[in-house]
């Protein structure tokens, strides 16, 4: 897996550069299509036999990089792939912060195979590993995380996406005395940031996409933290899809080991627009500068990488 790390970095950089012309143009579909096309082309150049296990739809729908799609140019290394060509299509279209291109990969058979649907997620850093329970009351989790981090609960900082569905979470956190850090978009980076000492986020909580949950899980496992989750089927159709993919209890608790059961995961994200963690793409006279994060599970190492490209992205019809 380690031999593929820089290959996956090229994949997210390529997707970000291709989506760059669409920043602020109000067309998130076109931006996503540009990133997806570039990501697929780049993945097909990677020396692997890759399978999308978490993507943007099922094989019979095939809207973008679909679940079950095979990518790569040989069969030497078999790889599971979770992908989001643009996490944050709305901020991309609106020229706002927190848009990234992101991919996670692990050895074949080690990533959760689940539909593109909602997932409840709770994440913490290494100090609170083993102290959370997604099925327990939120107040109990807050107390345990505060204790594990050597803090009073009033010092606890919990990241929650600013959505109406999270009103009850936000109310409980504030009533406990803890602080809420609301954010608009980009829950993958906020979940992973619980494992970064230089970022003051003790806990991440919310209901969002299952692809983002698996992507986050790869980064969090690599950095020694913990993520627990529960899928949130909205109807019998989604429940049936989960069962067809081998998830016997679609609403049961998912531990980190359910989401990714390998210590050799690779996580890569490239900034498309500026965020609290990554700089967005900068362009000057056809020269592109990218800023990415690469997390290697085998080494338990996080790297920030700047790259420079002189080639212009493929022409876009705008």
Q: Is 56 annotated as a binding residue?
A: yes
- Cα distances from 238 to residues 9, 117, 118, 229, 251, in angstroms, run 33, 8, 10, 16, 11
84 annotated as a binding-site residue: yes
What does the radius of gyration of the chain's CA atoms come to, in whole angstroms?
Answer: 19
User: Can you give the length of the chain in residues?
Assistant: 318
89 has binding-site annotation: yes
The verdict on whether residue 250 carries a ligand-binding annotation is: no
C-alpha 177/C-alpha 110 separation (Å) is 39
The answer to whether the annotation marks 209 as part of a ligand binding site is yes
Q: What Cα–Cα distance (Å) separates residue 105 from each residue in 98, 122, 186, 225, 260?
A: 22, 21, 19, 18, 10
Annotated binding-site residue? 186: yes
226 is in an annotated binding site: no
Phi, psi of 154 (to 5 degrees): -70, -15
Closest by alpha carbon to 89, among 35, 165, 13? 35
What is d(CA 119, CA 19) in angstroms, rounded to the nearest whole number? Answer: 27
- Tokens at 178, concatenated: 């803890």
Q: Which residues fall within 8 angstroms of residue 314, CB to CB, at 6 or more apart?
A: 18, 34, 38
Residue 174 assigned to a binding site: no
3-state SS, residue 84: strand
- 61 known member of a binding site: no
Please name every residue paired with 296 in a beta bridge, in sequence order, or none if there are none: 266, 301
Structure tokens at 242: 């989960």
Burial class of residue 258 in the structure, from the number of CB atoms within 10 Å of its CB (0-12 exposed, 13-18 middle, 19+ buried): middle
Listed residue (286, 293, 276) closest to 20, CA to CA? 286
Binding residues for Mn(2+) are 32, 56, 84, 87, 212
Binding residues for substrate are 87-89, 118, 163-165, 185-187, 209
Binding residues are 32, 56, 84, 87-89, 118, 163-165, 185-187, 209, 212
């Amino acid at each position: 897996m380690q031999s593929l790390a820089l290959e996956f970095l090229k994949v997210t950089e390529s997707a970000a550069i291709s989506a760059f012309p669409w920043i602020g143009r109000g067309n998130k579909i076109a931006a996503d299509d540009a990133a997806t096309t570039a990501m697929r082309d780049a993945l097909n150049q990677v020396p692997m036999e890759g399978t999308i296990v978490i993507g943007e739809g099922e094989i019979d729908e095939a809207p973008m990089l679909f679940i079950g799609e095979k990518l790569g140019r040989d069969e030497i290394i078999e790889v599971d792939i979770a992908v989001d060509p643009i996490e944050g299509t709305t901020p991309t279209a609106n020229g706002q912060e927190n848009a990234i291109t992101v991919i996670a990969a692990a050895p074949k058979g080690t990533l959760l195979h689940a539909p593109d649907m909602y997932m409840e997620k709770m994440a913490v850093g290494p100090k609170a590993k083993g102290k959370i329970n997604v099925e327990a009351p939120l107040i109990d989790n807050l107390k345990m995380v505060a204790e594990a981090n050597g803090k009073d609960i009033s010092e606890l900082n919990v990241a929650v996406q600013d959505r109406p569905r999270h009103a009850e979470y936000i109310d409980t956190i504030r009533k406990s005395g803890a602080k809420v850090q609301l954010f608009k978009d980009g829950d993958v980076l906020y979940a992973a940031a619980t494992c970064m000492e230089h970022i003051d986020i003790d806990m991440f909580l919310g209901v969002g996409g299952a692809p983002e949950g698996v992507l986050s899980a790869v980064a969090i496992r690599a950095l020694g933290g913990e993520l627990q989750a529960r899928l949130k089927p909205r109807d019998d159709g989604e429940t049936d899809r989960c069962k067809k993919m081998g998830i016997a209890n679609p609403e049961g608790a998912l531990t980190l080991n359910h989401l990714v059961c390998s210590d050799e995961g690779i996580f890569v994200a490239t900034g498309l627009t500026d965020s609290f963690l990554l700089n967005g793409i900068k362009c000057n006279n056809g020269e592109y500068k990218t800023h990415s994060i690469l997390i290697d599970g085998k080494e338990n190492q996080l790297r920030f990488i700047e790259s420079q490209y002189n080639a212009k992205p493929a022409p876009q019809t705008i």
